[in-house]
């Protein structure tokens, strides 16, 4: 099924090769600032192993199996990390970063959505995954960029409302992406189906980019909830 996909342009391929490690470096830099070099080193090693593992498995075609979908292993790992982050001390310390940085972090989703839109236009990604389909994730990205300079002036409840709404948009996007994969539970059909995320480097979209977006929401929620 993956073999039927057209070859992505260098813009799409390079973009999805560079952006996930870059975002991981930003998270590691935040750990270094708030938790110290030892914790940052552990985080860097964890990201490196995760990038290498998912990248290699995607490159050899391991994830190109849909009944059952092997990509569910990535989803389970991401959920496990997020549950850990919701209670971990390192995430609470990340929440001590300047509020503008925590809000503005989500603006990376603008680049992600532009790359996805290009992939859809090239026939690589499923049509539902961009803003002409059912993906509205550009809105949290743009609003994050606009709100970041004024985050410290916005009432806490207002920012928490934005954070929750943006997280719900992300949840909707992830669910629709899952429903567009060619599993026995597929509900959204299009040409092509959502199989590109099983290939390298696009596996890093769910494995790293979605993980970091959710992590950003959890950290900001902890900050606004006054947990640190």
Q: Is the pLDDT of residue 227 over 70?
A: no
- Name which of 101, 107, 111, 80 is nearest 17 in CA terms: 111
Q: At 66, is the secondary structure helix, strand, or coil?
A: strand
CA–CA distance, 63 with 58 (Å, rounded to integer): 6
CA distances from 36 to 29, 33, 73, 95, 180 (A): 10, 6, 31, 14, 41
Distance CA 163, CA 169 (A): 10
Distance in angstroms between the alpha carbons of the first and the last residue of the chain: 48
Residue 155 has pLDDT above 70, yes or no: yes
SS3 (DSSP) at 62: coil
Domain count, the chain: 1
Residue 84, domain extent: 7-224
Chain position carrying tokens 């943006």? 166
Residue 226 has pLDDT above 90, yes or no: no
Share above pLDDT 70 across residues of the chain, in percent, rounded to a whole number: 99
Residue 65 resides in a domain: yes
Residue 2 lies in a domain: no
> Could you tell me if residue 84 is inside a domain?
yes
Residue 14 lies in a domain: yes
Query: Does some domain include residue 1?
Result: no
Say which residue the tokens 């569910």 belong to.
Answer: 72
Model pLDDT for residues 161-171, shown as the tens digit of each residue? 999 999 999 99
Q: Tens digit of pLDDT for each residue in 96-108?
A: 999 999 999 999 9
22 touches 101 (CB < 8 A): no
Beta carbons within 8 Å of 50's beta carbon, 6+ residues apart? 77, 207, 208
């Amino acid at each position: 099924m993956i073999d039927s996909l057209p070859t992505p342009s260098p813009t799409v391929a390079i973009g999805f090769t560079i952006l996930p490690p870059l975002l991981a470096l930003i998270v590691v830099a935040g750990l270094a600032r708030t938790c110290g070099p030892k914790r940052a080193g552990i985080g860097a090693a964890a990201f490196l192993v995760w990038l290498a593992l998912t990248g290699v498995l995607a490159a050899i075609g391991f994830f190109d199996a849909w009944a059952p979908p092997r990509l569910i292993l990535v989803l389970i790992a991401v959920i496990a990390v997020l549950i850990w982050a919701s209670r971990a001390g390192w995430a609470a310390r990340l929440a001590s970063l300047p509020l503008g940085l925590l809000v503005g972090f989500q603006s990376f989703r603008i680049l992600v959505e532009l790359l996805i839109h290009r992939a859809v236009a090239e026939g690589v990604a499923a049509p539902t995954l961009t803003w002409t389909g059912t993906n509205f994730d550009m809105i949290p990205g743009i609003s994050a960029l606009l709100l970041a300079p004024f985050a410290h002036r916005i009432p806490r409840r207002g920012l928490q409302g934005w954070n929750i709404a943006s997280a719900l948009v992300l949840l909707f996007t992830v669910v629709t992406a899952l429903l567009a994969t060619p599993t026995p539970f597929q509900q959204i059909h299009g040409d092509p189906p959502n199989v590109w995320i099983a290939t390298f480097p696009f596996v890093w979209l769910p494995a790293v980019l979605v993980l970091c977006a959710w992590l950003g929401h959890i950290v900001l929620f902890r900050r606004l909830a006054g947990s640190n």
